[in-house]
Amino acid sequence: MTIGRGADVLTTEDLSRRDIEQIIGVADSLGSAVETRTSLDLLAGKILATLFFQSSTRTRLSFESAMQRLGGSVLGFADAQSSRATGERAESLEDTVRTVEHYADAIVIRHPAQGAAKRAAEVASVPVLNGGDGTNQHPSQGLLDAYTIWREKGTLDGLSIALVGDLKSTRGMHSLVYTLSNFRSRLFLVSPPELRFGDAVKARLRQRDLKFHEARSVDEVVSEVDVMYVTRLNKEGTGSAYERLLREYPRITLDTLRGCKDDLIVMHDLPRSDELGLQIDSLVDATPHAKYFSEVKYGVMVRMALLALVLGAVEPGGECL
Amino acid sequence: MTIGRGADVLTTEDLSRRDIEQIIGVADSLGSAVETRTSLDLLAGKILATLFFQSSTRTRLSFESAMQRLGGSVLGFADAQSSRATGERAESLEDTVRTVEHYADAIVIRHPAQGAAKRAAEVASVPVLNGGDGTNQHPSQGLLDAYTIWREKGTLDGLSIALVGDLKSTRGMHSLVYTLSNFRSRLFLVSPPELRFGDAVKARLRQRDLKFHEARSVDEVVSEVDVMYVTRLNKEGTGSAYERLLREYPRITLDTLRGCKDDLIVMHDLPRSDELGLQIDSLVDATPHAKYFSEVKYGVMVRMALLALVLGAVEPGGECL
Amino acid sequence: MTIGRGADVLTTEDLSRRDIEQIIGVADSLGSAVETRTSLDLLAGKILATLFFQSSTRTRLSFESAMQRLGGSVLGFADAQSSRATGERAESLEDTVRTVEHYADAIVIRHPAQGAAKRAAEVASVPVLNGGDGTNQHPSQGLLDAYTIWREKGTLDGLSIALVGDLKSTRGMHSLVYTLSNFRSRLFLVSPPELRFGDAVKARLRQRDLKFHEARSVDEVVSEVDVMYVTRLNKEGTGSAYERLLREYPRITLDTLRGCKDDLIVMHDLPRSDELGLQIDSLVDATPHAKYFSEVKYGVMVRMALLALVLGAVEPGGECL
């Protein structure tokens, strides 16, 4: 599979190393517009529909910014309440997609149900990008995380990477780990036991012969890792355990980072706040380790690459790593 | 009356056959951009305001897509909650319009009250397009329905057309039947007795000497018609009869269509779902009869035509039928 | 301080006479596009983010229109509900801004908390425009009000100007009076005693040696003034006094205006409605005094000027008065 003209971006499970390298290459080449604060006209006259059945600031606005930086325009809804798409007389997802495909040249969809983006892609005649489906996948997030590591470290091989927090239910984390499974880094999986990756992810890691170690606390791994990626605790599905998990949940402070490598990068998919406060203390922001806001910028670049590729505005191109 | 520069599009009641033919001609000529997925620059630099006091996916996004395909841009609100336009301290519709006319070059308004678009047009210095006012009119819907018939049948004369469902309260159906009253087709009006067209519509049909037959079930007419247009049951105004009407409501399945003409087209203004399921069974989707999603595409074309005409970007042009 | 490339627009307190004259000059020069209903391409490829933590029709759409008239595009949210920006797990304003600055080239923010725009500007690498922060400031409103007076009267000096209503809590009124404090007009401050300007405003007026007279009723001043600016009663902060204040609140009718100067202009920041009806009777609309809808048009022009200035698309230029 190649992410080229007409392709859907539903999951990172079926992406090859070459696919990912191509996306990184295109992100590098187009994304400089984000840094110079200019726009291109590669997608002038093209329309992106954003169907957000779950509300979002980051993902929706990031895709909108990417589309606008490429000269295209955007329409859609920011939450299901302002559309016919929910409620007792709701129309089916398939009918909504068969409608919206006539309004736009590509569709980004976020939906609470696992598999929703795939169902949309099955009926759509235009490319569908998964903006998060239930606890399943959030491929543009996983790819922007991989791109962040690549930008900051120059490689996705030979690193020690800690994935910290709710590994079980975080869709972006799933998309990242499948992306990383194409490269040769060592993973440290840090989470309360209930929140570990499911069997499918572990099977993939074993199949690709990727070394991984499960740990319960950041302390066990902090001195060894080059990358520390932290994510939120998802309330959904935790039931009565939520309060306890919240208290046990890994939190990063200057103290936690004592003894870390000088060039450790700390990432987070944001927002970093929960009922107990910040998962990464704001004192960390001023350290050279903090890369969680850089991820936002890289995210626009990666989404520019995905949109330009599936709308056929750029060629997948060659090696980039 | 002609739909030309500066005109409002409030109702189809006052449209002539020539008006409608002109709109069809312009839709044909501009709308190919929808099929080739390109954009024009006819309305570059122009702004459309979408004032949706009732939420909508289809109508709002269709107008947005039409405006963007013509190179223009869009601003507005998708539901009255995010504006000062409702609530105990709500400003009057007239004041809202006198404000928004300075932000945009044309206004599309959807409102729960009959006559709202007309009131808006009375104070606006820019063209107002009625995106649905109460149970009264929804002219762009009626025109896109007529355009769909014209595209699929090559004519609006000499056909047998079944209008099925809630004829009383469906504003798009009102707009369609007034449009059709300019042509020479035979109408079959299929609905529970409580949901028949009101006297005004029937008077118009008689005045124009248009043959129509009222029926209670699709079975009575299915073998005769070239076009079958189905619409939703409107909950509003049915009171305690709603549950019963829902059970009695016409529903289209493969079974219902047994004995129909080979080239029957089935239309629906969508969504086609209610509390009892689909008004048109999804098995019908795969038949050559199903045109309800084509209507969506034709809708963008017709709205492009309306916007281009009222903003003076095209000439009304000549005959097209 | 000069409103030039990269500047924030947070308050009018620190604007000089020269700053204001420059903004007026640029509004005059760019704003003719609003009157001719054309667009410029000064900000083509630039993106404005609209972060409305309080909903708004007027301010949000006015900024959107201004950005689109300059050829730029817009993204954002219209109310905090459709973003992660509120709720028990809300992210901090600072984190939201550090995110959105990567999506857009300038940010307009409206927020219920005083000082919110300043906090945003402190962390943002792009210009921040205050679209209203609590009861503090609403600088683009104050500047468009000043521009309205200047357009209608040709000067901001030597006039008699009545400011009528809730002077204490109306942020736009604060922005206007600080703007006017740079000029040499006489102010009549008409309000119930509880709703007078606070000490800071009065201290500024005294410091600038601006004559002002406090009055309780419009009758006392109507024959003397050239400009009468009326504003809404803010419910927030009035507690149990709200009902009484509403009854005592100044209202403008044809009767109130008896004996006024022929060229009196009446302004209002709109909406002009409250629970008791209209603060300016609709019979006033047809008189030559009514300028409250012209203010809306001038508002787009002033916001075009502010956006073009802070994004470096025009030079601050010379004197204009």
Stronger pLDDT, B320 or B170, i.e. the higher one? B170
Contact between chains at C270 and B91 (C-beta distance less than 8 A):
yes
pLDDT digits (tens, 9 = 90+) for A285-299: 999 999 999 999 999
Give the model's pLDDT for residue B318.
Answer: 41
CA gap B304, B66 in Å, rounded: 5
The amino acid occupying position C62 is S
User: For chain C, how far is it from start to end, CA to CA, in angstroms?
Assistant: 19
User: For chain B, how far is it from start to end, CA to CA, in angstroms?
Assistant: 19
Question: In which order are the strands placed within the sheet that holds C128-133?
Answer: C73-77, C47-52, C106-111, C128-133
Give the model's pLDDT for residue B320.
Answer: 37
C237 burial via Cβ count (<10 Å: 0-12, 13-18, 19+): middle
Question: Are the beta carbons of B300 and A47 closer than 8 angstroms?
Answer: no
Question: Are the beta carbons of C259 and C224 closer than 8 angstroms?
Answer: no
pLDDT digits (tens, 9 = 90+) for A121-140: 999 999 999 999 999 999 99
CA gap A96, A90 in Å, rounded: 10
Nearest to A82 among B39, B78, B275 (CB): B78
Q: Which residue of B has its CA nearest to A52?
A: B57
B49 burial via Cβ count (<10 Å: 0-12, 13-18, 19+): buried
pLDDT digits (tens, 9 = 90+) for B248-302: 999 999 999 999 999 999 999 999 999 999 999 999 999 999 999 999 999 999 9
A147 burial via Cβ count (<10 Å: 0-12, 13-18, 19+): buried
Q: Does position A100 have pLDDT exceeding 90, yes or no?
A: yes
Q: In this prediction, what percent of chain A has a pLDDT beyond 90?
A: 89
pLDDT digits (tens, 9 = 90+) for A145-169: 999 999 999 999 999 999 999 999 9
Find the DSSP H helices in chain C: 17-36, 58-69, 93-100, 116-123, 139-153, 171-180, 199-207, 242-248, 292-310
CA gap C217, C162 in Å, rounded: 11
pLDDT digits (tens, 9 = 90+) for A201-210: 999 999 999 9
> Which run of H or E residues covers position A301?
helix A292-310
Nearest partner of C303 among C43, C52, C124, C97, judged by Cα: C43
What residues in B contact C34, CB-CB < 8 Å? 102
Domains of chain B plus CATH, in order, are: 17-135+298-310 (3.40.50.1370), 139-296 (3.40.50.1370)
Region C37-54: mean pLDDT is 96
pLDDT digits (tens, 9 = 90+) for A210-233: 999 999 999 999 999 999 999 999
Nearest partner of C133 among C26, C8, C16, C22, judged by Cα: C8
Structure tokens at B24: 């069809």
Q: Which residues pair with C9 in a beta bridge?
A: C129
Dihedral angle of Cα B164, B170, B171, B172, to the nearest 10 degrees: -40
Structure tokens at C146: 């000043």
Within 10 angstroms of residue A287's Cβ, the number of other Cβ atoms is: 12
Give the model's pLDDT for residue A310.
Answer: 97
Measured CA angle at C210 (ends C205, C156), to 5 deg:
110
> Which run of H or E residues covers position B12?
none
> Contact partners of B by the rule of 3+ C-beta pairs under 8 A?
A, C
Distances (CA, A) of C23 to B84, B255, C164, C210, C320: 28, 70, 25, 22, 9
User: pLDDT class for B237, splitting at 50, 70, 90?
Assistant: confident
**Would the ipTM clear 0.90, i.e. be above it?**
yes
A259 burial via Cβ count (<10 Å: 0-12, 13-18, 19+): exposed
CA gap A107, A116 in Å, rounded: 13
pLDDT digits (tens, 9 = 90+) for C152-180: 999 999 999 999 999 999 999 999 999 99
What residues in A contact C99, CB-CB < 8 Å? 57-58, 270, 293, 296
Structure tokens at C4: 């030039």
Give the model's pLDDT for residue B137.
Answer: 98
What residues in A contact B272, CB-CB < 8 Å? 91, 95
pLDDT digits (tens, 9 = 90+) for A244-278: 999 999 999 999 999 999 999 999 999 999 999 99
Give the model's pLDDT for residue A1.
Answer: 58
Max Cα-Cα span within chain C: 57
User: A-B interface: how many C-beta pairs under 8 angstroms?
Assistant: 79
Nearest to C84 among A57, A275, A300 (CB): A57
Contact between chains at C73 and A68 (C-beta distance less than 8 A):
yes
pLDDT digits (tens, 9 = 90+) for B12-42: 999 999 999 999 999 999 999 999 999 999 9
Give the model's pLDDT for residue C319.
Answer: 39
H helix and E strand count, chain C? 9, 11
Stronger pLDDT, C6 or B237, i.e. the higher one? C6
pLDDT digits (tens, 9 = 90+) for C96-144: 999 999 999 999 999 999 999 999 999 999 999 999 999 999 999 999 9
What residues in C contact B89, CB-CB < 8 Å? 271, 273-275
Q: In this prediction, what percent of chain C has a pLDDT beyond 90?
A: 89
To which residue do tokens 């990184």 refer? Answer: A24
CA gap C175, C229 in Å, rounded: 13
User: pLDDT class for B2, splitting at 50, 70, 90?
Assistant: confident
Is residue B297 classed as helix, strand or coil in its secondary structure? helix
pLDDT digits (tens, 9 = 90+) for A44-74: 999 999 999 998 889 999 999 999 999 999 9
CA gap B179, A271 in Å, rounded: 52
Interface of A with B (CB under 8 A): 44-47, 49, 73, 75-78, 81-85, 88-92, 95-96, 98-100, 102-105
Q: Does position A321 have pLDDT exceeding 50, yes or no?
A: no
Distances (CA, A) of B76 to B60, B96, C266: 10, 11, 27
What residues in A contact C82, CB-CB < 8 Å? 55, 78-79
Nearest to C57 among B78, B83, B89 (CB): B83
B13 burial via Cβ count (<10 Å: 0-12, 13-18, 19+): middle
What residues in C contact A55, CB-CB < 8 Å? 81-84
Interface of C with B (CB under 8 A): 34, 37-39, 55-58, 61-62, 64-65, 68-69, 71, 73-74, 78-79, 270-275, 293, 296-297, 299-300
What residues in B contact C73, CB-CB < 8 Å? 73
Whats the size of chain B, residue-wise?
Answer: 321
pLDDT digits (tens, 9 = 90+) for C7-32: 999 999 999 999 999 999 999 999 99
Contact between chains at A55 and C84 (C-beta distance less than 8 A):
yes
pLDDT digits (tens, 9 = 90+) for B178-227: 999 999 999 999 999 999 999 999 999 999 999 999 999 999 999 999 99
Q: Which residue of A has its CA nearest to B233?
A: A89
pLDDT digits (tens, 9 = 90+) for C194-224: 999 999 999 999 999 999 999 999 999 999 9
Region C268-274: mean pLDDT is 94
Pairing between strand C128-133 and C160-164?
Answer: unpaired
User: Torsions phi, psi of B66, nearest 5?
Assistant: -60, -45
Q: Does position C320 have pLDDT exceeding 50, yes or no?
A: no
pLDDT digits (tens, 9 = 90+) for B59-107: 999 999 999 999 999 999 987 664 555 555 678 999 999 999 999 999 9
Within 10 angstroms of residue C154's Cβ, the number of other Cβ atoms is: 9
Q: Does position A94 have pLDDT exceeding 90, yes or no?
A: yes
CA gap A207, B105 in Å, rounded: 60
Nearest to C275 among B44, B88, B99 (CB): B88
- Helix, strand and coil in chain A, % to nearest 5: 40, 15, 45
User: Torsions phi, psi of C110, nearest 5?
Assistant: -120, 135
What residues in C contact A74, CB-CB < 8 Å? 75
Give the model's pLDDT for residue B321.
Answer: 37
Q: Does position C85 have pLDDT exceeding 80, yes or no?
A: no
Nearest partner of B6 among B128, B98, B131, B103, judged by Cα: B128
The amino acid occupying position C7 is A
Give the model's pLDDT for residue C318.
Answer: 41
Whats the size of chain A, residue-wise?
Answer: 321
CA of A15, closest CA in chain B: separation in Å? 28
Give the model's pLDDT for residue C316.
Answer: 78
Question: Are the beta carbons of C254 and C190 closer than 8 angstroms?
Answer: no
pTM over 0.90: yes
